[in-house]
Chain A
Amino acid sequence: MAENTVVHQSRRKTLKLIRLQEQLTGYLFILPALIIILIFGIFPIGYSIYMSLFNWQVTKGPFIGDKNYLLIFGSWWNLLVLVAGLGLIILGSLVWGKAFQSLNNGQRLAHIAGALVLILGGVIFVTGWGMMYETGNKDFLNSLIVTVYYALGTVPAEIILGLVLAYILYQDIVGKEAFRMIYFLPYITPSISTAVVFQIIFSSRETSLANRLIGFFGVDPLKWRFEPKPVLKLLGVNVSGLAGGPSLALLTIIIFGIWSFVGYNTVIFLSGLGNIPKEIYEAAEMDGGSKWDRFWHITIPMISPVTFYLTLIGFIGTFKAFNHLYVMRTPSAQDTVITTSLLVFDRFYKANQYGVATAQAIVLFIVIMGLTLAQNKVMGERVFYG
């Protein structure tokens, strides 16, 4: 009996040792990648945080703690109000969602409570934003709005167009390989050079390609990249501020963004479409499902992991976008095309205010992280993994 116990213990020890060895081997395998990520990924983020706590201009100045952040928010209280508003919006939507799921008598009450919390959250959020705008850095806050416009203008259009093109190319059409390559070309062409071509196409010259094109429809020449006025205003809708939407200059850059990335999305969607089992379509066809039914009820859900992935990297990409925005911006468009990444760049390289610039970069980083988490939560739950 005692002998058995000893053998058992010895086996357990050996197993532990093997496991430990396996784990060590695993760690050794990931060590090179880990070192690279630590040096080129984590360290720069840590160093940026460190820089943001100093009055760091051309040279490192004294430690100033949160002052560079306060320049952005005005005060921590402003940020707190904003975050509280955001929290209430999340809470309200959760309560509302639960109310719809529940079938008991408290449903109506939960609806009312959810709606009230949502309204309250919205009001508090806007109040916090207004307070920040009043005492914080207007340029930075404006740049966030421009970035949001850019992201919302680009990502959904890229996703929809990419899916439509992929679906068309997935059909049995002649020369689809060639089309695949053509659609993918904008993505692999250096954005600096294509942005320069877009500069010429969307020049405000009356003879530019874009102006000739709209001329066919009887529209007067537009200033395109040079136009700081909101698109809605140009269409005769007299709105200003946030509701005014993106400027025509930003819309031009949005068109470029869509053109660049739609091919990439198409190719990824194509690979996603290839993974949907043919039998499901055949079964649906036998059951009398139309082409639209099959697309809506089979393709869309089955491809949702790809859509989720593309949306996620699309939003992260647009918030970080820089090259083509830098090339296509014009002084005439003023701050209507200055996204946060451009603003940080200008603060860093033109104003040489490294502390302020790194604080802004860290805030942008947190915004991107927050958005990614929110997307993960909201969209991730709706993804159908088969």
Chain B
Amino acid sequence: MRRTSVLFVAVILIASLVLGACAKATEAPAPTEAPTEAPVVTEAPTEAPTEAPTEVDPWADVVPAKEIVWWHQHTGEAREAAIAKIVSDFNATNEYGITVTAEYAGSYGDIFNKMLPILNTADVPDVVVGYQNQVATYQLADAMFDMNELIDHPKYGLTKEEQEDFFPGFFAQDVLSLFGNQRLGLAPNRSMEVMYYNMDWLTELGYDAPPTTPEQFKEMACKASVTPFSGATEGAASPTGYELSIDTSRFASWTFAFGGDMFDYTTNQFTLNSDAAVQAWTFIQSLFADGCARLVTENYGDQSDFGNGTLLFSVGSSSGLPFYGDAVEADGTPFAWSVGAIPHTTADPVQNVYGASVSITKSTPERELAAWLFVKYYTSADVNAEWAKASGYFPVKQSVAAKFQDVFAADPAYKTAFDLLKFGKFEPPVPGYDFVRDNVIEPVMTNIVDDPTADVKALLDQANLDANAILAEQMAQIK
């Protein structure tokens, strides 16, 4: 009896739920309201001076602190050794008697999560590694030191030549327009998105050079998808022209290559739906629709497919150069490969560059000055060359090229990528960017490539609204 009762209850309940669901007419989603513009931090207007200002150097009497702490994320024998040497050299040679203690504080994410609860407390390190968007998040709490205070200082700052020695894109990356152009970091190293290509396969397909335009890229990719490479590993996946990983950095790379940007630094708003972005992603959509591209199937699956000779083109970080090399060598039948600029519609290539910078937390002038002196040393040309060689990252100083002839000779692909550094452009250094990347841009990328009939413009329009809404929420935190 009881079982029957339960059964009846279940049937009636399901029926009523279905009834209720049916009764509720489905309505088209109301258009999302345009978000209010993200507020920009502007300095309070200063009153017109009545007298000629007397230049007072606020740093004149500041004596650098003797001990400071640096949190970094570098692991691996070579990088750890290089960090230890840089720090010990600085400690031994700096004229102020500053001692830096370098502490491994976990991954970028770990450091970010550790920093948030201790912002503006005595527990923060003096120097910290962080991506620009992470540092922007710290600055929502007004917790970071604006390096503009010292960068041009006659005694402690960088000379004009030293500033101009930075690759322009790298130098500009840490100046945050959302925070009144405060400089919240300085770049010690960078990576860049490049196109990896299988030159032997291209030759078999009848081409003598990698593509430079999207049209050429598509033609080659489509041809490769139906023409297997003779050197492909047996039993590997079927051939394809291009594999896309759902990663916002790919979104940026292709959008930049079509002449667009993801952010308007004058209005401080996302521009994910720019004409260039729509063109770029309509192009990628057509690659998938025509069977010339597919998604990356597992972590670093594009590297292994490239190594197996079943993938003609891949777009990824230059930090993957040694891993692509290993993948090509893995089965004992290496082929000729290299890297090049992402095929572009612009006159010159536009390359997505990224990397964490070193930033200084707000504390006392003494600690801030000591931290700055270390950052200045760490990013100086000689040290930068030493660090880039040990770490495998790209240096940030143009003059380093002269010291890198041996590296270029040993690794021509590295040289090719190095020559593209001057075309660097970067992703938006704004708070909440990680959330936008994962929750807005990557779902849109999936929708575009999954559905050949998807309206790219409409999807990007909505993504742009969502991204700007998130940015507005983030900036509303500033008191």
- Chain A positions near chain B (C-beta within 8 angstroms): 57-59, 61, 89, 92-93, 96-97, 99-101, 114-115, 118-127, 130, 199-200, 203-208, 226, 228, 242, 330-332, 334-335, 346, 349-353
Contacts and interface: CB of A to CB of B under 8 A. Distances in A.
Which of B20, B140, B435 counts the most A-chain CB atoms under 10 A from its CB? B20
A58 B141 contact: yes
Interface stretch (B5-13, B84-92, B194-202, B395-403): B5-13
A332 B140 CA distance: 31
22 contacts: A57-B474, A57-B477, A58-B140, A96-B5, A96-B8, A101-B2, A115-B12, A122-B17, A123-B16, A123-B23, A125-B17, A126-B17, A199-B299, A207-B236, A332-B450, A334-B446, A346-B435, A349-B109, A350-B432, A350-B435, A351-B474, A352-B137
B128 to A, nearest CB: 15
A352 B432 contact: yes
A203 B435 CA distance: 25
B181 interface: no
Contacts of B33: none
A38 B410 CA distance: 62
Interface stretch (B34-42, B267-275, B437-445): B437-445
A359 to B, nearest CB: 15
Given A58-B140, A207-B236, A130 B24 contact: yes
Nearest to B245: A331
Given A61-B477, A331-B438, 8 more contacts: A92-B13, A96-B9, A114-B9, A118-B13, A123-B19, A226-B297, A228-B446, A346-B439
Contacts of B235: 207
A6 B306 CA distance: 97
Given A100-B2, A126-B17, A346-B439, A203 B301 contact: yes
Contacts of A203: 297-298, 301
B305 to A, nearest CB: 8
A122 B298 contact: no
Contacts of B116: 58, 352
Contacts of B15: 119, 122
B1 interface: yes
Contacts of A93: 9, 13
B472 to A, nearest CB: 12
Nearest to B30: A134
Contact of B13 (A89, A200, A208): A89
Contacts of A101: 1-2
A384 B433 CA distance: 55
Nearest to A138: B29
A87 B445 CA distance: 43
B9 A97 contact: yes
B434 interface: yes
Nearest to B2: A100
A57 B238 CA distance: 48
Contacts of A228: 446, 450
A199 B297 CA distance: 9
Contacts of A126: 17, 20-21, 23-24
Interface string B222-261: 0000000000000111100000001100000000000000
Contacts of A205: 237, 297-298, 301
A203 B443 CA distance: 19
